[in-house]
C-alpha cells in the first residue's frame, strides 16, 4: 500500500499522477486539513504532524509514504527517513528543468514561505540555478482558496494577478509551482499569464520517482485495480470534489473523516 499525505487537499495533484502510473496499487491519502496550512507553522509542529500521520499510514500497512507537500518535505523528510524504516518520497523543487528550459534566463517560483526556507530548496537553487535569475514569491492565501474549493473565479484571479504579474514584468518565461495546491490553479494562472509563462509542475516527476522506489523495494501491486481511500482530519467536501473531477467512479464510501 502506498500512503500519501499533505497539509490538505493539494496532494491530490500528486495522487493523480501516482494513480495514472500505478492504477493497480492501493492508495491511502491523508489530508491534514484541520491543521492546514503548514506554511505558517513552526518546523517542530510540522515534524510532529508528519510523524503522527506517517505512523497512522504505517499502521494501515503502508509500504512507502509519499510526502505530497512541499512544506512538510522541507521541514520533516530527513527526520521521517531517519525515524522510520520504510522509504519516503518527498516533493522535489522543479528548479532544474525550469533553469534548463528557460530561454529568458529568468525563472519564477511560487511557493510557501516554509518551502523557501527549507534546505532542500536552497540546495537545489545553489546546484541548478546558478546560470539563471530566480524570482521567488510566497503565495499567501492561495492554499486557503483551494482548501475552500475555490480554484477559479474573480477572487482567485485577483490574488493570482498580484503574484503572477511581477514574474511577467521581470521577463520570466518559466513558473515553478512549489506547492501541491497550486496545480489546481493552473487554469487561472494560464488565463492571467496568457502565453508568457510555462508552468512547471513537479508532481509527474515525483510520481516517477515513487514508482522507481516502489520497484527497488519490491512493493507488489494489489492486483486487479487497487483501492483508493481518502481521509481528512477536517472538511472532506473539497477533497471529494477534486477527486471526483479526476475519477468520478470513486465511491462516496472511500472518503472518511478521521481525527489523527
Task: Residue 65: name the closest of 88, 44, 35 by CA.
Answer: 88
168 shares its domain with 114 = yes
Check whether residue 196 and residue 110 sit in a common domain. Answer: yes
- Cell readout for 40 is 505558517
Is residue 96 within 8 Å of residue 90, measured between CB atoms? no
| 192 and 147 co-located in one domain | yes
Q: Pick from 201, 224, 249: which residue ends a domain?
A: 201
HSE of 132, CA atoms in CB hemisphere, 13 A = 29
Listed residue (193, 198, 201, 152) closest to 174, CA to CA: 198
Domain end marker among 155, 186, 201 = 201
β-pairing, 106-111 vs 174-178, is parallel
Span 60-93, pLDDT tens digits: 999 999 999 999 999 999 999 999 999 999 998 8
- The pTM is what? 0.92
Total of domains in the chain:
2
Instruction: Please tell me whether residues 129 and 140 are part of one structural domain.
Output: yes
- State the distance between the two ends of the chain, measured CA to CA, in whole angstroms: 19
Domain that holds residue 132: 95-201
Residue from 60, 196, 177 nearest 111 by CA = 177
Do 178 and 104 lie in one domain? The reply is: yes
Task: Please tell me whether residues 178 and 210 are part of one structural domain.
Answer: no
Q: Are residues 141 and 160 in the same domain?
A: yes
Cell of 238: 473539497
The domain boundary residue, chosen from 201, 217, 232: 201
Distance CA 234, CA 217 (A): 33
47 and 116 fall within a common domain: no
Catalytically active residues are: 69, 179
CATH number at residue 81: 3.40.50.1860
* Tens place of pLDDT per residue across the chain (260 aa): 999 999 999 999 999 999 999 998 999 999 999 999 898 889 999 999 999 999 999 999 999 999 999 999 999 999 999 999 999 999 988 999 999 999 999 999 999 888 888 888 888 889 888 899 999 999 999 999 999 999 999 999 999 999 999 999 999 999 999 999 999 999 999 999 988 999 999 999 999 999 999 989 877 766 566 899 999 999 999 999 999 999 999 999 999 999 99
Looking at the fold, whether 190 and 208 belong to one and the same domain comes out as no
Report how far residue 170's alpha carbon sits from residue 168's, in angstroms, rounded to the nearest whole number: 5
Q: Are residues 182 and 60 in the same domain?
A: no
User: Is the domain of 105 the same as that of 194?
Assistant: yes
Asked if 7 and 82 sit in the same domain, the reply is yes
Amino acid at each position: 500500500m502506498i500512503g500519501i499525505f499533505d497539509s490538505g487537499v493539494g496532494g491530490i495533484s500528486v495522487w493523480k499522477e501516482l494513480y495514472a502510473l500505478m492504477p493497480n496499487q492501493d492508495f491511502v491519502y491523508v489530508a491534514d486539513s484541520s491543521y492546514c496550512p503548514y506554511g505558517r507553522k513552526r518546523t517542530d509542529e510540522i515534524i510532529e504532524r508528519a510523524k503522527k500521520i506517517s505512523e497512522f499510514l504505517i499502521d494501515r500497512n503502508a509500504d512507502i509514504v509519499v510526502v505530497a507537500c512541499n512544506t512538510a518535505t522541507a521541514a520533516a523528510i530527513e527526520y521521517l527517513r531517519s525515524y522510520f524504516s520504510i522509504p519516503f518520497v518527498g516533493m522535489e523543487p522543479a528548479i532544474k528543468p525550469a533553469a534548463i528550459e528557460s530561454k529568458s534566463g529568468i525563472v519564477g517560483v511560487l511557493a510557501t514561505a516554509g518551502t523557501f526556507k527549507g534546505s532542500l530548496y536552497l540546495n537545489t537553487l545553489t546546484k541548478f540555478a546558478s546560470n539563471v535569475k530566480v524570482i521567488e514569491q510566497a503565495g499567501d492565501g492561495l492554499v486557503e482558496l483551494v482548501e475552500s474549493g475555490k480554484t477559479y473565479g474573480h477572487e482567485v484571479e485577483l490574488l493570482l494577478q498580484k503574484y503572477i504579474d511581477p514574474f511577467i514584468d521581470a521577463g520570466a518565461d518559466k513558473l515553478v509551482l512549489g506547492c501541491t495546491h497550486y496545480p489546481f490553479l493552473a487554469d487561472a494562472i494560464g488565463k492571467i499569464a496568457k502565453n508568457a509563462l510555462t508552468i512547471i509542475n513537479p508532481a509527474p516527476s515525483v510520481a516517477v520517482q515513487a514508482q522507481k522506489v516502489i520497484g527497488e523495494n519490491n512493493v507488489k501491486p494489489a492486483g486487479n485495480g487497487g483501492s483508493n481511500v481518502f481521509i481528512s482530519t477536517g472538511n472532506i467536501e473539497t477533497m471529494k470534489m477534486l477527486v471526483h473531477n479526476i475519477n468520478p467512479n470513486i465511491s462516496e464510501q472511500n472518503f472518511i473523516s478521521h481525527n489523527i
